[in-house]
């Protein structure tokens, strides 16, 4: 069961990244062309936020099932790069990114003008994307070769 969650969480990262890139591109394009905020952009923002929250649920399930939460009090966790990454850095980075993604969707709904909606969607989802890319255990990082691309 843990392996299934891990594979799902790992594969879902590509869905999240693709949705965020498309959402950011559409907002940037609309902002650059000074066009209105479309219903399609609103749905992209919603789907991006939903996929971020699904990733959060899968990640929290893995965090507790794999025992990372119980390792926080262990003395050797902070000295190991991989253990520290999964016990602290990955969780905190992704939580911050999900907050920005949620803010991006919520503040767009409250914006009064189309220009402000495009600007907010672009900024908040871009910040979320940058934090997510920095917080993913990419296999090119030293010590993370075993985690693979999928």
SS (H, E, C) 35-70: CCCCHHHHHHHHHHHHHHHHHHHHHHHHHHHCCCHH
pLDDT < 50: residue spans in the chain: none
Specify the pLDDT at position 17.
97
**Total count of domains within the chain:** 1
Q: What is the pLDDT of residue 150?
A: 61
pLDDT value of residue 149: 67
Residue 74: the pLDDT is: 79
pLDDT for the residue 92 = 95
21-54 pLDDT tens trace: 999 999 999 999 988 899 999 999 999 999 999 9
Q: Where are the beta strands (DSSP E) in 36-128?
A: none
Tell me which residue range forms the domain holding 16.
2-147
Q: Which of 73, 66, 61, 68 is CA-nearest to residue 87?
A: 68
Q: How far is CA 32 from its chain centroid?
A: 25
């Amino acid at each position: 069961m843990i392996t299934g969650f891990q594979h799902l969480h790992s594969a879902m990262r590509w869905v999240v990244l693709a949705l965020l890139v498309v959402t950011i591109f559409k907002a940037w394009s609309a902002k650059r062309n000074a066009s209105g905020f479309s219903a399609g952009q609103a749905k992209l923002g919603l789907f991006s936020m939903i996929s971020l929250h699904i990733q959060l649920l899968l990640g929290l399930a893995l965090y507790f099932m794999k025992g990372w939460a119980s390792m926080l009090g262990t003395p050797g966790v902070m000295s190991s790069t991989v253990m520290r990454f999964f016990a602290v850095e990955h969780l905190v980075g992704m939580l911050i990114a999900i907050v920005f993604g949620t803010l991006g969707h919520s503040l767009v709904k409250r914006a009064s003008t189309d220009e402000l909606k495009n600007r907010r969607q672009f900024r908040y989802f871009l910040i979320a994307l940058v934090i997510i890319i920095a917080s993913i255990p990419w296999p090119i990082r030293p010590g993370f070769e075993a985690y693979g691309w999928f």
